[in-house]
Chains A and B, each alone.
Chain A
Amino acid sequence: MKDEKEDSIDKLFSQGLKDPGSNASYRDEDWDALESMLEGKKPKGVIYRLAYIISGIAALLLLVLGWLFLNPAQKTDKTTPQVVKTKPQAKQDSGKYGTPDEQLADRKTQAPAAGNNSADNAPAKNRPGQSFFTLSADSGGRKNAGQIAKTDVAPKLPTVKLPSDTIIVTDKAVNNMAVNKAKVDTIIITDKAAANMANNKAKADTVITPKKPVLASVVDDIKPKKKTKGVSSSMGFKPTFALSFIASPDINSVKGFSQNKVGTNAGLLLTVGVSKKWSISTGAIYADKPYLTDFSNYSSAYQFNTNPTSVSASCIVLDIPINVGYQLYNNGGNKFSLGTGLSSYFMLRENYTFNYAGSYPGGPTSYNIRNQNKHIMGVLNLNATYQREVSSKFGVAVQPYFKVPLTGIGYGQVNLKSAGVAVGVTWNINTRIKP
């Protein structure tokens, strides 16, 4: 074992990684994230993430079940909007750390989880609550601390009431605090510590280092801050870009999904990550959308002598989507996000075949047009994406999606819904930027 320990590569790394230097320099964003955790929002633990995942899966299931079990004859028109509604609802839950019940459950599990930590137990095994600190922590102090936390909303004089027997507060320091009317970090420094602090003036705007140990005021360089609740971003963000090639079988239907035909989709998408959670994607998807529908769902200016019973269509569509995505989960190379947005359909080619009841058609049997119709922002997109990184640059993605028209599609002004599961490869153009 000793030989292994003395391996030169171990030494190289253990010595070389001793001092992180400016790589580990303090960031306010990190404190903000921790502060929001301390203010009652749970740390991002496994359970916490599970809530996200479960709500995401629930939204997906609702979506899928909605498509599959719609009764087209009776309910299509009413149920479709309901399906659409369920998604934001589920999303809302996941965005707010779960339902109250989940939050309660989270809190219950939180304490034992922290207590389970072997680090906590190891040094403290033989000291059950008898430490000096436990004895000195009185309830009054806790109340004060609570007040401080609440006053974070507006610029204020910090009402820090540390025990008078432990901290010496000079009048001068108090005056300083009053004049500054900003958040003030207080620290007591001795001669030795003062020397240390003097070297770190970049961190503190003013440092008073008198000969005797006194209270120094370190005016915090951050804001009288208005907390942006829910922001748990732990650092500054640079936009990220990812290019994806996707392809999918595309199930098309006009009413419900009982009469459906399967087409194909393929296209390129560019996704821009605008924050840690939010992204915008756009691109071009070439889609072949065949469908079959009753003639009653088809509107035409042409007056048929005898109405056809049904219409078979084959449309070639260029789909230009603009979607926003919200990442619910990102861990260990697995990402899960929900997205919505609008698509513009450019109908490149529309071929309609009219089917008649009798053997002798009472009207035209087909109708073909090219580049006649376009529907700018005419289709609502809903999707959920699971992405797995296979390397730092490349990932694979699976994306169930649902496209609901907001306007009639094509010459026949049909309510053409599409659903499918797209699979794709993603090239992360600028990921793994180590700050």
Chain B
Amino acid sequence: MGEEELNQLVRGCLKDDRLSQKLLYKAFYGFAMGICLRYATNRYEASEIMNQGFYKVFKNLTKYDITKPFKAWLGRIMVNTSIDYYRSNLKIAYTEELEKAEHINDTELADRNLNYNELLDMIGQLPRAYRTIFNLFAIEGYTHEEIGDMLNISTGTSKSNLHKAREKLKIMIAKSNKMPGLNNTGLDNRQQSNSNNIVSITHTDLSPSFVKNVSKQ
């Protein structure tokens, strides 16, 4: 989708035109769902978060600056909605004795190519706090200071949770390397072949540095 088409859809959405809203939703569905899936425990939850995010997008579209990339703005809203969801669900502090994973080295991690589903499943198995911090740091590219502010936790907690998240992921990867038969590589290949059907609008990615720039502005 070109810039002008996007702008027209945005204009339609500003007038609460349901058709424009739907087209915009369809166009950015894959992108938004990709973010929400990483923060959610399952697809149900991801859909709920994503819809809350889109609701905010439509209700606050007047705040969107046309000169800035829409995708980055939308991505930020999805991340923030995921954080809101995390906050509303974090009633019990998670404490768990951690199985040490220091014996697992990086070469073991590279044993096998893990596909999207496997990685998503692993990240989904993390406790919500670990998952959120891992996402924000490793994928979104926020610093521990920024994460501390967002989640209202100390920098130290952010660091320690990130460390624990990594340890857990390493263990999961090591386990999956030992049991490669359990992986759904075949299924994933089939799904990948269909992935062209997803409407991709622009090619700009929500890169960490970019997000930071947007947030600073």
A and B: real partners? yes
A interface with B by C-beta (< 8 Å)? 1, 4-5, 7-10, 12-14, 16-27, 29-31, 33-35, 37-38, 43-46, 111, 114-115, 117-127, 129, 131-134, 136-138, 141-142, 144-146, 148-149, 152, 158, 160, 162-163, 166-167, 185-190, 192-193, 196-197, 199-200, 202-203, 234-235, 276, 331-332, 432, 434-435
A202, B197: Cβ atoms under 8 Å?
yes
Question: CA of A23 to CA of B198 in the docked complex: distance in angstroms?
Answer: 10
Contacts of A27 in B (CB 8 A): 47
Contacts of B115 in A (CB 8 A): 16
B106 at the binding interface (Cβ < 8 Å): yes
Which of B26, B37, B90 is close to A31, meaning CB atoms less than 8 Å apart?
B26
> B interface, by DSSP: helix, strand, loop or mixed?
helix
Asked whether A234 and B48 contact (CB < 8 A) given A20-B33, A25-B30, A434-B42, the answer is yes
Contacts of B14 in A (CB 8 A): 133-134, 136-137, 141
Contacts of B31 in A (CB 8 A): 24
Which of B77, B119, B141, B188 is close to A12, meaning CB atoms less than 8 Å apart?
B119
A136, B192: Cβ atoms under 8 Å?
no
Contacts of B121 in A (CB 8 A): 434
Asked whether A187 and B65 contact (CB < 8 A) given A8-B110, A25-B197, A200-B199, the answer is no
Question: CA of A136 to CA of B29 in the docked complex: distance in angstroms?
Answer: 26
Question: CA of A33 to CA of B53 in the docked complex: distance in angstroms?
Answer: 13
B99 at the binding interface (Cβ < 8 Å): no
Contacts of A141 in B (CB 8 A): 14-17
Which of A16, A26, A120, A193 is close to B29, meaning CB atoms less than 8 Å apart?
A26
B15, A117: Cβ atoms under 8 Å?
no
Contacts of A44 in B (CB 8 A): 48, 52
Closest to B80 in A: A119
Question: CA of A10 to CA of B137 in the docked complex: distance in angstroms?
Answer: 9
Contacts of A162 in B (CB 8 A): 8, 11-12, 17, 20
Contacts of A134 in B (CB 8 A): 14, 62
Question: CA of A339 to CA of B20 in the docked complex: distance in angstroms?
Answer: 41
B11, A163: Cβ atoms under 8 Å?
yes
1/0 per residue, CB under 8 A from A, across B197-214: the answer is 111110001000000001
**10 closest residue pairs by CB, A with B:** A141-B15, A24-B33, A10-B138, A332-B89, A21-B195, A124-B63, A145-B16, A119-B80, A20-B34, A234-B47
Shortest Cβ distance from residue A113 to the other chain B in the assembled complex, whole angstroms = 9
Q: Which chain B residues numbered 150 to 208 have a C-beta less than 8 Å away from chain A?
A: 150, 162, 166, 169-170, 173, 188, 191-192, 194-201, 205
- Contacts A21-B192, A114-B55, A133-B11 known; 7 new A-B pairs at CB < 8 A: A12-B119, A20-B120, A119-B80, A123-B73, A186-B23, A193-B1, A200-B197
Closest to A22 in B: B191
Which of B64, B110, B170 is close to A124, meaning CB atoms less than 8 Å apart?
B64
Closest to A137 in B: B14
A14, B21: Cβ atoms under 8 Å?
no
A20, B196: Cβ atoms under 8 Å?
no
Contacts of A189 in B (CB 8 A): 1-2, 5
Shortest Cβ distance from residue B98 to the other chain A in the assembled complex, whole angstroms = 15
A22, B17: Cβ atoms under 8 Å?
no
Shortest Cβ distance from residue B102 to the other chain A in the assembled complex, whole angstroms = 13
Asked whether A23 and B117 contact (CB < 8 A) given A129-B62, A133-B61, the answer is yes
Contacts of B29 in A (CB 8 A): 24, 26, 30
A127, B47: Cβ atoms under 8 Å?
no
Chain B: how many interface residues by the 8 Å CB criterion? 102
Closest to A183 in B: B19
B100 at the binding interface (Cβ < 8 Å): no
B interface with A by C-beta (< 8 Å)? 1-2, 4-5, 8-12, 14-23, 25-26, 29-31, 33-34, 37-38, 42-44, 47-48, 50-52, 54-56, 58-66, 68, 72-73, 76-77, 79-81, 84, 88-91, 106, 109-110, 114-117, 119-121, 123-124, 128, 134, 137-139, 141, 143-144, 150, 162, 166, 169-170, 173, 188, 191-192, 194-201, 205, 214-215, 217
Which of A16, A122, A124 is close to B119, meaning CB atoms less than 8 Å apart?
A16
B2, A45: Cβ atoms under 8 Å?
no
Contacts of B22 in A (CB 8 A): 31, 35, 185
Question: CA of A193 to CA of B191 in the docked complex: distance in angstroms?
Answer: 24
Question: CA of A412 to CA of B22 in the docked complex: distance in angstroms?
Answer: 65
A166, B48: Cβ atoms under 8 Å?
no
Shortest Cβ distance from residue B216 to the other chain A in the assembled complex, whole angstroms = 8
B12, B23, B63: residue with the most chain A Cβ atoms closer than 10 Å: B63
B80, A160: Cβ atoms under 8 Å?
no
Contacts of A5 in B (CB 8 A): 137-138, 141
Which of A26, A144, A192 is close to B26, meaning CB atoms less than 8 Å apart?
A26
Shortest Cβ distance from residue B61 to the other chain A in the assembled complex, whole angstroms = 7
Which of B2, B11, B20, B166 is close to A193, meaning CB atoms less than 8 Å apart?
B2
A137, B62: Cβ atoms under 8 Å?
yes
Shortest Cβ distance from residue A128 to the other chain B in the assembled complex, whole angstroms = 9
Question: CA of A200 to CA of B120 in the docked complex: distance in angstroms?
Answer: 25
Question: CA of A119 to CA of B106 in the docked complex: distance in angstroms?
Answer: 35
Contacts of B23 in A (CB 8 A): 185-187
Shortest Cβ distance from residue B167 to the other chain A in the assembled complex, whole angstroms = 9
A24, B37: Cβ atoms under 8 Å?
yes
A21, B110: Cβ atoms under 8 Å?
no
Give 27 CB contacts A-B under 8 Å.
Answer: A1-B144, A9-B170, A10-B137, A14-B138, A17-B34, A20-B34, A22-B195, A24-B29, A24-B33, A26-B30, A114-B60, A117-B81, A122-B76, A132-B66, A134-B14, A134-B62, A137-B11, A137-B14, A142-B15, A142-B16, A152-B18, A162-B12, A188-B5, A199-B197, A200-B199, A234-B44, A234-B48
